[in-house]
Amino acid sequence: MQIIDNPNRESWSQILKRPTQTVDDIEGIVSEVFNNVIKNGDTAIKEYTTRFDGIDLQSNIVTEEDIKKAVLIVPKKLQNAIKEAKKNIETFHIAQKTSKINIETTNGVQCWQEKRPIEKVGLYIPGGTAPLFSTVLMLAVPAQIAGCKEIVLCSPPNKEGKLAPEILFAAQLCGVTKVITVGGIQAIAGLTFGTEVIPKVYKIFGPGNQFVTVAKQLATKFGVAIDMPAGPSELLVVADNSANASYIASDLLSQAEHGADSQVLLVSTSKNLINSVSEEIEKQIRELPRQAIAEKAIANSKLIYIENNELALDLINEYGPEHFIICTENEDFYVNGIANAGSVFIGDYTPESAGDYASGTNHTLPTNGFSKAYSGVNLDSFLKSMTFQKISKEGLLNIGETIELMAEAEGLQAHKNAVSIRLKDIIPTKAGIS
């Protein structure tokens, strides 16, 4: 990892640059796939699965029989672990439910807000080198709690042309209504436009590589909502002399092994700690089965010395990490001061892995600095807030003139008339207002 010593503010934007391509670099291929799927539907999706995944699938529909067989393959201990994680995720997301808000803003004007589920959602589950069955829990559990009617799961095939049995086990455990073996840009295109096999959905969820991320962003041009731009994984750790170097190295490597385009950063007020963490990374990385992948990510990553906590916090907020770990004596300074982060992990015994799997918080989070404006997936991600209002005669008398004056000032006479025509009927019957 590159060690950077006390960089000046002018260099921060360059130092904190992500190792990802821009939308412009990828948009061409995404548009090509989208246009082909619009014209040729499942035929185009089959062609892209062959080209990108190297698999010629006769059918990409996962049947109930496929799921039953997969469940038998998953070891009982792992099944129990998945169920335990599901319970914690359910507990945290159920707690996010809010009650109906009902208020009389002025006499006779009743306003309220209720939340209704998004009826059709698509869940993208990354496959590739690491099939993320944990992401099934993170997306399907809140979708089920919210009451989504159609929960469509798409995930790319492995070398045998199948989905990992753990993905199928988690899918049936969490109420997924349809599972399709398709990944990449073509999966997002199918969910966006709909085909004979893949239902069109109203909102697409889930992380993915750079191509999937750009495909999701372009899907919004066609009237489909997305959870957020969630691309290659990233982690920033802030630490001081009190921190455990081996713990920090393990956290950095836990994200580095996600993919070659992942990025991990350590920001520290201690040069001694930076050197110790660097040594620990060299030691621990040799033991990883995914060493080659982690090494590529580590090459994109940095150890940054900053002279004081105030500057460190400014740099961290400028970066806006997906995952943010705090290992400092004065942890409250960072807990209270962090403005831009997807999810925050506090203290020596809160590894980022906990949030990835089983603490209960959601691991589908904004990357690439989007935490400055986006939230991670939560229960509200699967709900719409709808407002209602009911106005009595008395209520319209109370706010009618206000509406008339404002509408007239904006030059919208029909808006004014919609009130005036009613007031003419109400005013003669003031004595009997109801």
Among 166, 234, 280, 322, the active-site one is 322
Q: Does 186 carry a binding-site annotation?
A: yes
Question: In whole angstroms, what is the distance from residue 85 CA to residue 146 CA?
Answer: 18
Residue 389 identity: Q
Q: Does 247 carry a binding-site annotation?
A: no
How long is the chain? 434
Q: Does 233 carry a binding-site annotation?
A: yes
Q: Does 323 carry a binding-site annotation?
A: yes
Residue 236 identity: L
Among 234, 257, 280, 323, the active-site one is 323
Q: What's phi and psi for 411, nearest 5 deg? A: 75, 25
Tokens representing 2 are 């590159």
Nearest CA to 75 out of 7, 142, 165, 203 is that of 165
Is 93 an active-site residue? no
Which value, in Å, is the radius of gyration of the alpha carbons in the chain?
26
Asked if 187 and 105 touch (Cβ cutoff 8 Å), the reply is no
Strand order, beta sheet including 2-5: 2-5, 302-305, 263-268, 234-239, 323-327, 343-346
Q: Does 363 carry a binding-site annotation?
A: no
Helix (H/G/I), strand (E/B), else coil: 66 = helix
Q: What's phi and psi for 365, nearest 5 deg? A: -135, 155
Tokens representing 404 are 């008339």
Task: List b or e across 63-94, with b for residues whose CB sees 16 or more CB atoms inside 10 angstroms.
Answer: eeebbeebeeebeeeeeeebeebbebbbebbe
Q: Does 93 carry a binding-site annotation?
A: no
Asked if 103 and 111 touch (Cβ cutoff 8 Å), the reply is yes
Q: Does 389 carry a binding-site annotation?
A: no
Q: Does 255 carry a binding-site annotation?
A: yes
Which residue positions form the known binding site for Zn(2+)?
A: 255, 258, 356, 415
Which residue positions form the known binding site for substrate?
A: 233, 255, 258, 323, 356, 410, 415
Which residue positions form the known binding site?
A: 124, 186, 209, 233, 255, 258, 323, 356, 410, 415
Active site positions, annotated = 322-323
